Structures are given as C-alpha cells and as structure tokens.
C-alpha cells in the first residue's frame, strides 16, 4: 500500500512540475512578444489624413512627434468563447504599438486564486498568434498562419479609437473617406490587406466600426469569413487620452449580430 501511495504521490509531483514548467513557458513567450513590441518604431508624422480622422485624434489628445511607442490598456470584460455560449468574466492587459502595426492582448479568467483560463492574442512584426491555456498550462487552442495573421491585422485597425496616437503617427495605415461620416483604414500585411470602416457621430467621435468578410478560423480550424462589427461608447479622459471607456465587438451570423467581447477600460498608459 505504501508503494502505491508513493507512486501516486510521485506522479502528482511530476504532473505539478510539468504544469509549472508549461505555465512559465507561456508567460515567457508572452513577455518576449511584449518586448518585441516595445522595440517597435516611435510615432512618425502622418500627413493627408481626412479631416474627421485628424480631428478625432487631436481631440483625444494625440500629438505628432511625441516620441511614443506603446499604449497599454487595462480592461475588465465579458468574453464568449463560442457562438451562443455563455459569457465569462475576464481581466485583460493590452499593449498597442503606435508607430507600426502591432499589439499583444493577455486575458485571464480566474476561479478564486487559480487562473482557470489564460489567452494570448497578438500581432507582432507581421505575424499573428493566438493561444489559450487552462490553468495557465494545459493547451486548449493554438493558432498561427496567414488567415490568423490577417484577422489580427483587422483587430489592430479596429482598436485604433483606443490608440489615437497611432492615427497621427503610424504611416503604415492608409485612410480615406467613403462617406461624409465614414472613414476607412487600410494596411498591408504579409497575408493581404486589412480594411476597417469607422462611423463618426455628430460630435466627431467614432461610435462604430465595421469590416466586411474578416478572415477567421471556425471551431474546426477551417478558414471562414464573417462580417465584423464593434461599438464604442462613453468617451472620457482615461490617463493621458480621451478614449472610449466601454466597447463591444461581435460577428454577424446568418441569425444576426452577436457580441463576443464586452469591455471596460480601467487604465491607460503611454510609453516612449
């Protein structure tokens, strides 16, 4: 009996050691991506912006030639992992590059003191990555490749209202007006061109984004294209910039629009 107990105990210890090692590797990989993002170019002057786009960024407090590289946001939110699924509460931290396209988003869903779910979503140096782990160690999903890369480029553009300095300082983004109150942002990637449209309200704030046929991966890992929408609300001064305090994003399915992430920004920092 003592021998059996010793074997079980040894297996439990080995399992714990493996879980700790996997968790550390996940955190180290995330840290390397953030370090690469922090080494990205500073904002550079952008000219020829459509007037509503320029005015939005200036009103937010963005300044040309500021020498900034990164905006970092702290978020709380609700995340739906599949269509029609239940929302789970998450906390997230995100770094957004300002002088070149890029971001790293780290989210966690906790069960008491235990990290029940950790998610890494990133676009760094022209490559997209997505990874989810249970308890910080057990792999649940991992994806990369051209389809994901292009989808992550769409995400970078869609979140520009949170990073107005990138509007004035990222020359890799092309802007054009498609209607009096609608502007399209476009950028090239190794996997193709990403395009996102923004709608401005009467006060000049961006209140909605839309992208036709955003590439994504379905539950089976196959490529799919879905129309994508997001809504920005409650603009206020958060840290050094006036940005949306709340937002949501979702896909348009045959049954209609369904949000999969609702967030509240709780903090905002800028770094050179």
Partners of 192 in the beta sheet? 189
Query: Whole-model pTM?
Result: 0.90
Predicted confidence at residue 218, as pLDDT, reads: 77
Predicted confidence at residue 80, as pLDDT, reads: 95
Give CA–CA dist 113/93, Å, rounded: 18
Predicted confidence at residue 116, as pLDDT, reads: 85
Predicted confidence at residue 10, as pLDDT, reads: 45
Give CA–CA dist 45/54, Å, rounded: 12
Predicted confidence at residue 90, as pLDDT, reads: 97
Predicted confidence at residue 2, as pLDDT, reads: 56
Mean pLDDT by 10 residues, the chain (272 residues): 50 44 72 95 96 98 93 97 94 98 95 80 96 81 92 98 98 98 96 97 98 86 91 98 98 96 98 96
Predicted confidence at residue 27, as pLDDT, reads: 80
pLDDT digits (tens, 9 = 90+) for 197-238: 999 999 999 999 999 999 987 777 788 899 999 999 999 999
Give CA–CA dist 217/222, Å, rounded: 5
């Amino acid at each position: 009996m003592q021998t059996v107990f010793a074997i079980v105990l040894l297996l439990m210890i080995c399992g714990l050691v493996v879980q700790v090692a996997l968790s550390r590797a996940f955190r180290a990989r995330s840290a390397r991506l953030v370090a690469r993002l922090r080494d990205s170019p500073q904002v550079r002057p952008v000219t020829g912006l459509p007037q509503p786009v320029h005015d939005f960024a200036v009103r937010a407090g963005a300044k040309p030639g500021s020498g900034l590289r990164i905006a970092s946001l702290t978020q709380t939110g609700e995340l739906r992992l599949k269509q029609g699924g239940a929302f789970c509460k998450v906390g997230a931290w995100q770094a957004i590059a300002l002088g070149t396209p890029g971001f790293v988003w780290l989210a966690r869903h906790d069960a008491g003191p235990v990290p029940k779910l950790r998610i890494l979503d990133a676009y760094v140096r022209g490559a997209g990555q997505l990874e989810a782990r249970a308890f910080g160690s057990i792999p649940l999903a991992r994806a990369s490749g051209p389809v994901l890369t292009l989808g992550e480029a769409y995400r970078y553009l869609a979140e520009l209202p949170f990073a107005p300095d990138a509007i004035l300082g990222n020359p890799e983004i092309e802007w054009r007006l498609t209607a009096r109150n609608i502007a399209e942002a476009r950028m090239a990637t190794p996997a193709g061109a990403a395009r996102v449209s923004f709608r401005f309200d009467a006060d000049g704030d961006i209140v909605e984004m839309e992208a036709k046929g955003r590439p994504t991966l379905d539950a089976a890992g196959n490529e799919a294209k879905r129309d994508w929408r997001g809504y920005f609300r409650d603009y206020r001064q958060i840290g050094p910039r006036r940005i949306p305090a709340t937002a949501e994003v979702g896909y348009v399915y045959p049954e209609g629009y369904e949000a999969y992430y609702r967030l509240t920004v709780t903090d905002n920092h800028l770094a050179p």
